[in-house]
Amino acid sequence: SIMPATLSAISNGARHGILVKGGVHLENLSHLEAIAFDKTGTLTKGKPEVTEVFVKEGLEKEDLIWKAASIESHSNHPLAQAIVKYAKKNIKKELFHPDSLEDVPGWGVKAEVNGERWKIGKAAFVGKENVERFADGRAKDLSSLGNTLVFIEIDGELCAMVAMKDVVRDETKLAIDHLKKQGIRTVMLTGDSEKTARAIAAESHVDEFFAECLPEEKVEQLKQLKEKYKTVAMVGDGINDAPALAIANVGIAMGGGTDVALETADIVLMKNDLPRISEAIRLSQRMNKII
Ligand code: ADP
Ligand code: MG
């Protein structure tokens, strides 16, 4: 049977926008030593905006972006949505269906358009060496400023680079600072590049970050954190985050996240409100004292 102190802690949490799916999760939370965060949509707002577009000389920018947006309109990745939004605003032409499409999670998308083979995704997806020479070396500067870069390759040739910037949530720094004061190690996990990750990690105040993680590598990082720290939480919002949420001692989902994340999590922050995590920890520690 549930202890009265546990019940009261759970209902107290619910009143404060923290949905806890069982007393055991509060118990675990009270012993928390480290907490890992997904970057996009968790520490950041998850609504990137296109900041710059570079197109190889001799190619028509409008046509290229129109085709890229048509391909990306079939993906629900936040970066894909940013390209679609940019195209809809700047190009007044209806998007079309590519002849074939393939989603490559953690890398990008592949498609066929009028016999051309398209690839849209991260640097390593299109050949990292080419990328450094592209756009007069601007890639480095843009990623150091926290931009995420997406590259477009057509028939094996690098044709464009799209820079996008996602904003760190207003309350992220405060939430991370609170957790650190509570003696908890804070870690960011992301599929994004090293340079971009470094910029966002600094802006967020996290102790440590791991960049260029494929979805399965986020799970691997979490396993390693669990070896180092007794109790580890994971905070995420996306379908990609579900395996990491499941393997953490405490999985925490952002209320605005995807259904899979909400179902897999042990705790849901109903208002995407990161500072509530510190509150939940305090609540769990008070509960433990009473028990
Ligand atoms: P995150 O950990 O930030 O959520 P993902 O693991 O989903 O990132 O993706 C890692 C990288 O792969 C992105 O930063 C991007 O460069 C590339 N990528 C993934 N999906 C897409 C897509 N649909 N369009 C363009 N790029 C993509
Ligand atoms: Mg995310």
Could you give the CA distance from residue 244 to residue 112 in angstroms, rounded to a whole number? 33
Residues 24 and 56 reside in one and the same domain: no
Query: Which parts of the chain register pLDDT below 70?
Result: 1
Q: How confident is the model at residue 247, as a pLDDT?
A: 96
Which residue has the CA at smallest separation from atom 16 of ligand 1?
A: 122
Q: How confident is the model at residue 175, as a pLDDT?
A: 97
**CA–CA distances in Å: residue 80 to residues 14, 65, 192, 281, 291:** 34, 12, 14, 36, 49
Active-site residues, by number, are 38
Q: What residues flank ligand 1, with Cβ below 6 Å?
A: 39-40, 72, 75, 77, 79-80, 106-109, 120-122, 148, 150, 190-192, 240
Residues 13 and 105 reside in one and the same domain: no
Residues 183 and 123 reside in one and the same domain: no
Cα of 59 to ligand 2 centre, how many Å?
33
ipTM of this complex prediction, to 2 decimal places: 0.95
Which residue from 79, 125, 165 has its CB within 8 A of the most atoms of ligand 1, so it is best to mutate? 79
Q: What is the pLDDT of residues 125-146, one digit of tens each?
A: 998 777 878 888 889 999 999 9
Examine the fold and report which residue of 105, 138, 165 is the final residue of a domain before the chain moves on. 165
Which residue from 37, 71, 77 has its CB within 8 A of the most atoms of ligand 1, so it is best to mutate? 77
Where do the DSSP E strands lie in the chain?
A: 18-20, 34-38, 49-55, 100-104, 108-113, 116-121, 147-154, 157-165, 185-189, 208-210, 232-236, 250-254, 267-269
Q: How confident is the model at residue 1, as a pLDDT?
A: 62
Range of the domain at 184: 4-44+168-290
Residues 32 and 71 reside in one and the same domain: no
Q: How many domains does the chain have?
A: 2
Its pTM stands at: 0.90
Q: What is the pLDDT of residues 236-247, one digit of tens each?
A: 988 888 999 999
Numbers of helices and strands, H then E, in the chain? 13, 13
Q: How confident is the model at residue 215, as a pLDDT?
A: 83
Examine the fold and report which residue of 165, 180, 196 is the final residue of a domain before the chain moves on. 165
Q: How confident is the model at residue 136, as a pLDDT?
A: 81
Question: What CATH number does residue 55 fall under?
Answer: 3.40.1110.10
Question: What CATH number does residue 189 fall under?
Answer: 3.40.50.1000
Examine the fold and report which residue of 113, 133, 165 is the final residue of a domain before the chain moves on. 165
